[in-house]
């Protein structure tokens, strides 16, 4: 009998492969993920202000490694 599994630890335990659904239960903790710097709520009153605030958010996401750099 052979088994197929979508989630497995590769030989040596250095790599965990998730091919199915990863469910993180309430109360669990996740460490090691990047966190972007806080972006304050926008107080813009025109489109130019919103663009400035949005671009600041993009810079923070890129700096944290959550978005590919230009």
Tokens representing residue 47 in the block: 């489109």
Strands (E), 1-70: 7-9, 16-18
Q: What is the model's pTM?
A: 0.63
Q: Distance between CA atoms of 33 and 25, rounded to whole angstroms?
A: 17
CA 21/CA 24 separation, integer angstroms: 10
Query: Residues 9-59: pLDDT tens digits?
Result: 998 889 999 999 999 999 999 899 899 999 999 999 999 999 999 999 999
Q: Which residue pairs from 24-28 have beta carbons closer than 8 angstroms and sit at least 24 positions apart in sequence?
A: none
Kindly report the length of the chain: 70
- How large is the greatest C-alpha to C-alpha distance in the chain, in angstroms? 66
């Amino acid at each position: 009998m052979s088994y197929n599994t979508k989630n497995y630890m590769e030989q040596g335990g250095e790599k965990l492969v998730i091919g199915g659904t990863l469910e993180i239960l309430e109360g669990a903790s996740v460490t090691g993920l990047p966190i972007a710097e806080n972006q304050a709520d926008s107080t813009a009153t025109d489109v130019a202000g919103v663009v400035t605030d949005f671009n600041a958010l993009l810079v923070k996401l890129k700096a944290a490694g959550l978005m590919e750099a230009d």
